[in-house]
């Protein structure tokens, strides 16, 4: 059952046909007009009210269809989540960095929703997983403690913003006491007067521009210059020296659990998440920042960048599945080499959403090109004829991890 999806045009998206979102839209709807200077940031697949999908043939919303045909979800999904899809599936095309943020766990989400319903609009948690389609840059989780200490020793502009005494205490601390010192340092950074922070950032960027290549590389100059270009003077730029900088290669993933600080910087990715809008922001954004909540909720677990990548489990010769430690979602990546005549999509205990990223397939005499999206009922098996000429076929399927 083919779906018509919603696209979003947020300011941070890639423009025109440079955007994977725009290319997928054009692939599935050749008559769609793509404007060169318009941003195409997100493609949404699911039942979320802010970007609903519709049954292409009937025009009925997927949410309405599911409500009228609850059995399509699968018994295990209904038992765990009620009568709606528990996940939202997306494609993102990121040109400009997204906010430095974290998502609350279920308990905190319920409390925040009760206290500030106009800001935190639902009581649900929001774990999420990006899977790279192109080289994808992000900040994710706290760096190893020794790395943070080293940056604070070598960037006086940063230690001035945080506060000399607070910085000194962290540098002289050992890892056993790292959490309390990290919390104080991050609080000092994020609550420093914005004008003074902007001044120190500019001084640091000026100093970076005078350094030789090895000095610039040691301080991740290219990355902070990109962040500064996106958000001049924003305190979130300094977040680079607290959080791991990660480049995901195509097919690699991150799992972003509750209270995990992160920011997407650039690139195209698949993304799957729980159905929630709860975001606690602290930088790289003109939107509301809730620094006290963020400071209180973060994990402060220091781990190396490579440990943030989430490994898939091989399902068959062509498919690997990312199964995070929650029931809300999982993702299958299906990559068929050139010349593959057919593929049998296995039945699952959950309803799923399948998107074709590269190539084209035939199902029940209907041809689906790149950008096409199908809703798959629980326990349905699809027998796909592969029509792709000369290249690989790449598809992703999102479903509940039940």
pLDDT profile of the chain (402 residues), mean per 10: 96 98 96 96 94 95 96 97 95 98 89 85 86 98 97 98 97 93 97 97 98 97 98 97 98 94 98 88 90 94 94 97 97 97 97 98 96 98 95 98 96
Query: Can you read off the two tokens belonging to residue 393?
Result: 């076929």
The strand ranges marked E within 22-127 are 39-40, 42-45, 54-55, 87-94, 100-102
> What is the C-alpha to C-alpha distance for residues 194 and 196, in angstroms, rounded to an integer?
5
Sign (positive/negative) of CA torsion 145, 150, 155, 161? positive
Q: Give me the residue label for tokens 């003074």.
A: 196
Pick from 310, 311, 314, 362: nearest CA to 334: 314
Residue 145 confidence (pLDDT): 97
- pLDDT at 275 (0 to 100): 84
In 3D space, the residue among 278, 244, 219 whose CA is nearest the CA of residue 88 turns out to be 278
Would you list the DSSP string of 145-157? HHHHHHHHHH-HH
Q: Could you identify the residue written with the tokens 């039945």?
A: 347
Binding-site annotation: residue ranges for Zn(2+) = 101, 103, 128, 262
Annotated catalytic residues are 281
Tell me how far apart the alpha carbons of residues 305 and 142 are, in angstroms, rounded to a whole number.
Answer: 9
What whole-number distance in Å separates Cα of residue 162 and Cα of residue 43? 39
């Amino acid at each position: 059952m083919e779906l018509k999806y919603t696209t979003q045009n947020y300011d941070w998206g890639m423009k025109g046909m440079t955007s994977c979102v725009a290319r997928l839209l054009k692939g599935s709807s050749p008559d769609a007009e793509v404007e060169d200077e318009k941003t195409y940031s997100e493609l949404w697949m699911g039942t979320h009210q802010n970007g609903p999908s519709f049954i292409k043939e009937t025009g009925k919303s997927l949410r309405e269809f599911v409500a009228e045909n609850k059995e399509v979800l699968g018994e295990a999904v209904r038992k765990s989540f009620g009568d709606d899809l528990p996940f939202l599936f997306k494609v993102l095309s990121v040109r400009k960095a997204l906010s430095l943020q974290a998502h609350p766990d279920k308990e905190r989400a319920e409390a925040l929703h009760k206290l500030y319903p106009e800001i935190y609009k639902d009581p649900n948690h929001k774990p999420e997983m990006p899977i790279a389609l192109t080289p994808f840059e992000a900040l994710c989780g706290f760096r190893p403690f020794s790395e943070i200490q080293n940056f604070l020793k070598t960037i006086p502009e940063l230690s001035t913003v945080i506060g000399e005494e607070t910085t000194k205490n962290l540098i002289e601390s050992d890892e056993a006491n790292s959490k309390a010192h990290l919390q104080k340092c991050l609080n000092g950074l994020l609550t420093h007067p914005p004008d003074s922070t902007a001044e120190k950032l500019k001084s640091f960027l000026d100093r970076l521009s005078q350094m030789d290549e090895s000095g610039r590389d040691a301080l991740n100059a290219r990355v902070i210059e990109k962040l500064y270009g996106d958000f001049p003077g924003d305190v979130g730029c300094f977040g680079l020296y607290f959080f791991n900088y990660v480049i995901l290669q195509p097919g690699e993933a991150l799992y972003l659990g509750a209270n995990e600080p992160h920011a997407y910087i650039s690139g195209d990715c698949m993304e799957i998440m729980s159905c929630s809008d709860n975001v606690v922001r602290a930088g790289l954004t003109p939107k509301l920042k809730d620094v006290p909540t963020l400071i209180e909720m973060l994990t402060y677990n220091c781990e190396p960048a490579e440990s943030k990548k989430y490994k898939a489990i091989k399902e068959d010769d062509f498919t690997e599945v990312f199964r995070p430690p929650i029931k809300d979602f999982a993702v299958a990546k299906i990559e068929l080499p050139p010349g593959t005549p057919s593929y049998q999509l296995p039945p699952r205990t959950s309803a799923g959403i399948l998107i074709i990223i590269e190539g084209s397939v035939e199902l029940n005499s209907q041809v689906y090109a790149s950008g096409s999206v199908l809703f798959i009922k629980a326990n349905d098996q699809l027998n796909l004829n592969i029509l792709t000429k000369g290249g690989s076929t790449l598809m992703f399927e999102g479903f509940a991890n039940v």
